[in-house]
Copies of this chain bind each other. A is one copy, B any other.
Amino acid sequence: MTPELQLDRQLCFALYAASRSMTQAYQPLLGELGLTYPQYLVLLVLWEQDGASVKQLGERLLLDSGTLTPLLKRLEAAGLLRRRRASDDERRVEVWLSDTGKALEEKAAAIPQAMRCRYGAEGREAESALLRQTLQQLTMLLQGKPG
């Protein structure tokens, strides 16, 4: 066995396992709101930036239209948002929150604190902020954007 290929030495697998574990930990909380984890991410962007285009959502979340289009259709079917061709550029599709979608932000506001508790980050704000920044830098590197 090549030592370099040991699973437990792979940063990539540590990332993959942590990311999926985190998503799983969110699931019970998001389930109460009727959301999946990627749907929650889309709403996080829209609560900051209502009316964002599919392209803008994709840039923030690093997702393409092949993922976003069906996801947005499901959120539209759930009544949380509406999709609209922009009048000044018919190629663009703008995504606007409905009142229900806007109102959901209040319920979601409790989630971050609940999760910090869940993964033992309470009282370790500095440590988890550092981890977050390290991951953000790594993402920029992997995306080929000079950091």
Contact = CB atoms under 8 A, between A and B. Distances in A.
A86 B142 CA distance: 42
B132 A118 contact: no
Contacts of A45: 7
Copies of this chain present: 2
Contact of A142 (B37, B47, B119): B119
Main secondary structure of the interface of A (DSSP, over half): helix
Q: How big is the A interface, by class?
A: 35 or more
A11 interface: yes
Residue of A19, A136, A143 with highest tally of chain B CB at under 10 A = A19
A91 interface: no
A123 B78 CA distance: 50
